[in-house]
A = this chain, B = another copy of it.
Amino acid sequence: MDLEDTLLMMPGPVPVAPRVLRAMSKPMINHRGAEFSAMYDDCCEILADVFQTKNDIFIISGSGSAGMEAAVGCTVGKDDVVVTLENGKFGERFKKIADRYGKVNPLENEWGYSFDLAEVEKKLEEGAKAVTLVHNETSAGIQNPAKEIGKLAKKHDALFIMDGVTTLGGDDVKVDEWGVDIAIVGSQKCLAAPPGLSMVSVSERAFEAMDEKGELPYYLDLKAYKKSGDKSQTPYTPAVPLFFGLQEALHIVKEEGMPARINRHATCAEAVRAAVAAMGIEMLPQLDEFSQYSNTVSAMKAPEGVTGNDIKKDMLARGITIAGGQDRLSGKIFRIGSMGNVQPKDIMLTIQELEVVLKKRGVISGLGAGVEAASEVLDSLL
């Protein structure tokens, strides 16, 4: 019986509010008309608050990966060195993208392990046009030290390109204060809009790098986005229904207010961590003083004798979609997203069902410990 009511607790796509879904069923409009332009401007204005930036913001009809490629492909030429910081799948993705456009000087950590800032600085001292960082490594549930990397980038005159795909809209991201030259977010994560759009902020320094580079990619040409954006338009046909959805989702963000939204995300993730700790389950990330557990997705090691995919499969049978591990972490971990419009009751149901699954699998002997721990943390949101 398909009631379309599976609870999505993945790190995106996240559940989309009914009013956002309804917005997407509006009739098509002329994407070169005044109505579209007004919607475009409205979205950019709210996004400026989300990004905490005065930089230009552009909305690309394409996934977060398109935004990542736009950032690198527009600023990095074939002789330019990019320091790519990798401690998960999306850090690796930046490395792969950078490799197609320039020369990569990678720092490759175990996935989920903190970066040694001294090692980062050593890489930058060797000379770099840009450094790429994934603020929140979705694949490993670790939040990397954006502020510190921003300082190092500035000191060594490298562009700071930051994937904020799973922090922007749900966590405290200070694009201007941290000196992020290009920051990228995906629509289907903390902003709780449907998937298919990515948004990027671009600094003056990044535009200068584009002028130096010369030939840019075509569909992801950020200078073309700038030229059209100044007229409140997109250079190519935009995905109109996704803009309808994004605008409505951003109105929800504005109504809640970013401080409350950030607190809700942090508290929900903390509740997940408290719950799994009460069940004796270990977190994947290996932290240091500058890194922290993600406020939007929690990555746990699979308990002995059970794979992450077992847990994912058992949860899905009970109507809740969580995530396993990707690539080299496949089977070894399971992940619970707590991003977007996630509510305490969503966390409570997820933890309750996780307990049942783990008890059936023989991992825990009784029910209630996780639920109680989560409940105590979530009380502050009620």
- The answer to whether A4 touches B26, judged by C-beta atoms less than 8 angstroms apart, is yes
Copy number in this complex?
A: 2
Known: A188-B28, A194-B241. A66 touches B236 (CB 8 A): yes
Interface flag for A290 (CB, 8 Å): no
Q: A92 on the interface (CB 8 Å rule)? A: no
Partner of A239, one of B8, B26, B194: B194
User: Chain A at the B interface: mostly helix, strand, loop or mixed?
Assistant: loop
A16-24, A128-136, A143-151, A264-272 - the one binding chain B: A16-24
Residues of B within 8 A of A240 (CB): 13, 188, 194-196
A237 beta carbon closer than 8 Å to chain B: yes
- On whether the beta carbons of A239 and B27 are closer than 8 Å, the reply is no
A110 to chain B, nearest CB (A): 24
Kindly identify, within residues 200 to 216 of chain A, every residue whose CB is under 8 Å from any CB belonging to chain B. 215-216
Instruction: Knowing A100-B218, A217-B217, A239-B239 are in contact, say whether A195-B66 is a contact too (CB < 8 A).
Output: no
Given contacts A194-B239, A239-B239, contact A61 B61 (CB under 8 A): yes
Of the four ranges (under 10, 10 to 19, 20 to 34, 35 or more), the interface on chain A belongs to 35 or more
**Which B-chain residue is minimally distant from A10 (CB atoms)?**
B30
CB of B219 within 8 A of CB of A66, answer yes
Kindly name the residue among A33, A188, A215, A242 whose own CB sees the greatest number of chain B CB atoms within 10 A.
A242
Could you tell me if B321 and A196 are in contact, using CB atoms closer than 8 angstroms? no
Q: A318 contacts the other chain (Cβ, under 8 Å)?
A: no
- Which residues of B sit under 8 angstroms from A4, Cβ to Cβ? 26-27
Asked whether any CB of chain B lies closer than 8 Å to the CB of A5, the reply is yes
CB distance from A126 to the nearest CB of B (A): 23
Q: Report which of B5, B97, B241 forms a contact with A27, defined as CB distance below 8 A.
A: B5
Q: Which residue of B lies closest to A33 (CB)?
A: B321
Taking the closest CB of chain B, its distance from the CB of A243, in whole angstroms, is 9
A91 part of interface (Cβ distance < 8 Å):
no
- Contact of A12 with B by CB under 8 A: yes
- In the complex, per-residue mask of A328-371: 1 if CB is within 8 Å of any chain B CB, else 0: 00000000000000000000000000000000000000000000
- The verdict on A228 contacting chain B, using a C-beta distance below 8 Å, is no
When chains A and B are docked, how far (Å) is the Cα of A335 from the Cα of B218?
Answer: 27
Contact A218 B29 (CB under 8 A): no
Which of B26, B63, B216 sits near A237, CB closer than 8 Å? B63
**Complex alpha-carbon distance, A82 and B63, angstroms:** 29
Contact mask for chain A residues 94-121; partner B; CB cutoff 8 A; 1 contact, 0 none: 0011001000000000000000000000
Which residues in chain A, 5-55, are within 8 Å of chain B measured between CB atoms? Answer: 5-6, 8, 10, 12-16, 21-22, 24-31, 33
Report the minimum CB–CB distance from A74 to chain B (whole Å).
12
The reply to whether B31 and A27 form a contact with Cβ atoms under 8 Å apart is: no
Asked if A62 meets B65 with Cβ closer than 8 Å, knowing A30-B321, A219-B220, the reply is: no
Neighbour of A25 across the interface among B24, B27, B237, CB < 8 A: B24
A100 to B27, CA, bound (A): 36
Q: Does A245 contact B (CB under 8 A)?
A: yes
Answer whether residue A170 sits at the interface, using C-beta atoms and an 8 A cutoff. Answer: no
A127, CB-defined interface residue at 8 Å: no
Task: Return the contact of A62 from the options B24, B73, B219 (Cβ within 8 A).
Answer: B219
Measured between alpha carbons, how far is A64 from B218 in the docked complex, in Å? Answer: 12
On whether the beta carbons of A65 and B12 are closer than 8 Å, the reply is: no
Residues of the B chain whose Cβ atoms lie less than 8 Å from the Cβ of A196: 61, 196, 237-242
Tell me the bound Cα distance from A63 to B217 in angstroms. Answer: 15
